[in-house]
Amino acid sequence: MARRRKGSDFDLVRGILALVLLGAFAFVGFDLKKLASFGVLLAAGAVVLALIAGVFVLGLVILRSSGSRQPAPGKAAFDAYPLRVDSSRSAHPHDFQPPVPASQPDLFTLELVKSLEWRHFELLAQGLFRALGLHAQRIKAGGDGGIDLVLREGEYGPVVAIVQCKAWTNWQIPPKTVRELYGAMAAESAPHGYFICSGKFSGAAREWAQGKALTLVDGEELVVWLNSLDFQTRGDLIREITSGDYKTPTCPQCEITLVRRSGQYGDFWGCPNYGNRVRRCRYKMPVARRAV
């Protein structure tokens, strides 16, 4: 637009000069000899007219430029309320995956699973089966009888399986513990049993479970199961189990976080309700042990 206006201004100057020359030529009766004799006078007049035209064009340019700098109607309103674009929206909503906060991993790792204390480990297993479409009812610790979760088809549906969870990382699951789960299956008439641990099963335990309605899932296999969940479900589960103190063990009787104390035989985890007169709890466990 600026180039077009500048060109039109010069066209105006050329037009004025052409009119001046044509008027001088007509004044001498269109005689070229007379026009030549009045050349000096014509040149002086042309210079004066050019100056006048130049001043006129300059004023016109200044007027136009000052007018173009005036704010457009309603511009102040747009400056006060700028358009806000929601950059989180994708052109294809079904392809959009919300990011996990930087402080949270986007995938489960074996290190994360092993760092969970026993109660958070049970919550992890509960969240896994819930994501698989089953109603997972958690049984309170201390009186579970070898059962941590009861799986149903719906909240009031039939029992499809029972689950035992062990956050054992320092030693392998022996056959005796697996046999206890199998006995609980018979007592509850459960058609299937899942034994989930953060460590490993002994070879004898896996051999004993062969041919039975038992599924043994060690820490590495559990990580594979968890990472097979969709992005949103996996991220929600990671945030759920890592909220608060997820590494310090929980009292299985009071279900509150234990406190590290020192005794004559070394440090141990003790229940905060030890000195509570109303609900006194004497539960304690070695510091090296973080699971029940």
Would you give the distance in Å from CA 140 to the centre of its chain?
33
Pair 131, 167 in one domain: yes
Pair 237, 223 in one domain: yes
Whole-number Å distance between alpha carbons of 162 and 95: 36
Which residues touch 79 (CB under 8 Å, ≥6 apart)? none
Helical (H) or strand (E) element with 88: none
Q: Is residue 131 part of a domain?
A: yes
Q: Is residue 205 part of a domain?
A: yes
Q: Indicate the residue type of 274.
A: Y
- CB atoms near residue 5 (< 10 Å): 13
pLDDT digits (tens, 9 = 90+) for 134-175: 999 998 765 456 799 999 999 899 999 999 999 988 889 999
pLDDT at 44 exceeding the cut of 60 = no
Closest CA to 142 of 162, 109, 118, 117: 118
Q: Is residue 47 part of a domain?
A: no
Specify the pLDDT at position 200: 96
Classify residue 74 as left (phi > 0), alpha (psi -120 to 50) or beta.
left
Q: Is residue 60 part of a domain?
A: no
Q: Is residue 141 part of a domain?
A: yes
Q: Indicate the residue type of 55.
A: V
Strand, coil or helix: 206: helix
Q: Is residue 255 part of a domain?
A: yes
Residue 289 structural domain: 248-292
pLDDT digits (tens, 9 = 90+) for 218-257: 999 999 999 999 999 999 999 999 988 999 998 888 888 8
Q: What is the mean pLDDT of the chain?
A: 76
Total count of domains within the chain: 2
pLDDT digits (tens, 9 = 90+) for 195-220: 999 999 999 999 999 999 999 999 99
The DSSP 8-state label assigned to residue 262 in this structure reads E
CATH code of residue 174: 3.40.1350.10
Pair 137, 256 in one domain: no
Pair 286, 201 in one domain: no
Q: Is residue 20 part of a domain?
A: no
- Residue ending a domain, among 213, 229, 247, is 247
pLDDT digits (tens, 9 = 90+) for 75-102: 333 343 333 333 443 334 344 444 444 4
Classify residue 125 by burial, with Cβ atoms within 10 Å: 0-12, 13-18, 19+.
buried
Specify the pLDDT at position 105: 67
